[in-house]
Amino acid sequence: MGEMSNFQLGVIGALFLSVASSVSIVICNKALMSNLGFPFATTLTSWHLMVTFCTLHAAQRLNLFVSKSVDLKTVMLFGILNGISIGFLNLSLGFNSIGFYQMTKLAIIPFTVLLETIFLKKQFSSKIKLSLSLLLVGVGIASITDLQLNFVGTILSLLAIITTCVGQILTNTIQKKLNVSSTQLLYQSAPFQAAILFVSGPLVDQMLTKQNVFAYKYSPVVLAFIILSCLIAVSVNFSTFLVIGKTSPVTYQVLGHLKTCLVLGFGYTLLHDPFTGRNILGILIAVFGMGLYSYFCTEENKKKQLASDLPLASQVKDKDSLPLLAGKNVGNQNEENHETKKLSKDSVI
């Protein structure tokens, strides 16, 4: 029970770190891009990952964690896939309306459920599916304002959904199958993610913004916000791997939609973004769906824990009872042998 309590505390800590850091970086990046006019999101992400790797490398040299080597091909493909998924998400945002982009993000949850059901044989109860449906409806009401479709944008959105789902499923699977921690996996894969985005980022950003990141005039304020964004990103990247490793890709996506609701609320409170009754209704439905999802997951985990504890309890019970029976049988056999010897002796006499 002590290990279970520590695990739950670890999960709560990971969830809190993920929410706090993600909301912080959204607010920071919104100020950087909207207010200061720095539109190069993909290139900025590559800088995030480079700073994350450098930070983890320093932590590893200081013996704050132990690096564990993972198959180079696996890590390379995993890192490149995650880097490509970020690029596709940014392209999807660039080629689609905000509403369709939000639909793309909403589609990640059902697609992840589908992939895990087909390929990993994972079962999702009807209660979990109901709570996820409520969550998606709520976030949709709160965040989707328009749906403008175009062929290129739709293809990019489909590619973004597929690569994001596969990347997050692999994040969970690699940690469990290869027995590596979130820190170890992030340390090994971050250079490959950073490399693919460092090469493709300026091209993607120029395609979307018609501006060159290397020709941009960097003021001291912009540089300060870039540095702050990179520092927060270390926590974001670490907590992402931590949450997916400790929970599941679906839970991480649910957490992502909680962040969306919080960002809408903070945007209204701090940045005075427009806020309507529709936003409030959607957020309330989404929060209710999240509450149900959390409750049903907790109940199912308790049932699984009880089911796994029962065989252990029966084994302990059998272990406790077997020596007594065995001792009794041995005692009876000794007594019978003693009696047999005694009879034989008497017959000889």
In a domain, 119, yes or no: yes
CA–CA gap between residue 320 and residue 342 (Å, rounded): 34
Q: Mean of the pLDDT values across residues 48-66?
A: 94
Where residue 327 falls among pLDDT bands split at 50, 70, 90? very low
Q: How many CB atoms lie within 10 A of CB 50?
A: 19
Residue 341 lies in a domain: no
The more confidently predicted of residues 103 and 7 is 103
Q: Enter the pTM of the model.
A: 0.80
* Residue 235: both structure tokens together: 């926590």
Pair 48, 29: CB distance under 8 Å: no
SS3 assignment, position 212: coil
Q: Is the pLDDT of residue 273 over 60?
A: yes
> Which of 155, 157, 141 minimizes the C-alpha distance to 108?
157
In a domain, 158, yes or no: yes
- Return the amino acid letter for 20: A
- The alpha carbon of 288 is separated from its chain's Cα centroid by a whole number of angstroms, namely 21
Q: Is residue 222 part of a domain?
A: yes
Residues 103 and 156 sit within 8 Å (Cβ to Cβ): no
- Is a pLDDT exceeding 90 seen at residue 306? no
d(CA 197, CA 193): 6
Answer whether residue 57 shows pLDDT above 50.
yes
What sign has the CA pseudo-torsion 88, 159, 144, 113? negative
pLDDT of residue 39: 94
Residue partners of 20: CB distance under 8 A and separation at least 6: 235
How do the residues of the chain divide into helix, strand and coil, expressed in percent and rounded to 5? 85, 0, 15
| Under 8 Å between Cβ of 51 and 231 | yes
Which amino acid belongs to residue 107? A
Residue 203 binned pLDDT confidence (cut-offs 50, 70, 90): very high
Model pLDDT, residue 23: 85
| Residues 48 and 32 sit within 8 Å (Cβ to Cβ) | no
pLDDT digits (tens, 9 = 90+) for 138-150: 999 988 776 677 8
Residue 320 has pLDDT above 80, yes or no: no
Range 274-278 average pLDDT: 79
Q: Residue holding tokens 């590619």?
A: 159
At residue 335, the pLDDT reads 44
pLDDT band at residue 271 using 50, 70 and 90 as cut-offs:
low
Which residue, among 54, 61, 89, has the nearest Cα to 186 in the 3D structure? 54
Per-residue confidence band for 309, with pLDDT thresholds at 50, 70 and 90 = low
pLDDT averaged over the chain? 84
- Of 21, 43, 39, whose CA–CA distance to 31 is shortest? 39
Task: Give the domain range for residue 253.
Answer: 9-301
Is the residue at 320 inside a domain? no
Average pLDDT over residues 272-291: 86
217 conformational bin, left if phi > 0, alpha if psi -120 to 50, beta if neither: beta
Q: Tokens in use for 202?
A: 């300026």
Number of domains in the chain: 1
Distance CA 149, CA 101 (A): 10
Tell me which residue has tokens 């999240």.
290
**311 vs 277: which has the higher pLDDT:** 277
* Residue whose tokens read 């980022």: 201
pLDDT tens, position by position, 63-121:
989 999 889 999 999 999 999 999 999 899 889 887 788 889 899 999 999 999 999 99
Residue 255 lies in a domain: yes
Q: Quick check: is 210 in a domain?
A: yes
pLDDT band per the 50, 70, 90 thresholds, residue 329: very low
Give the model confidence (pLDDT) of 216-243 as tens digits: 999 999 999 999 999 999 999 999 998 9
Kindly state whether residue 220 falls inside one of the protein's structural domains.
Answer: yes
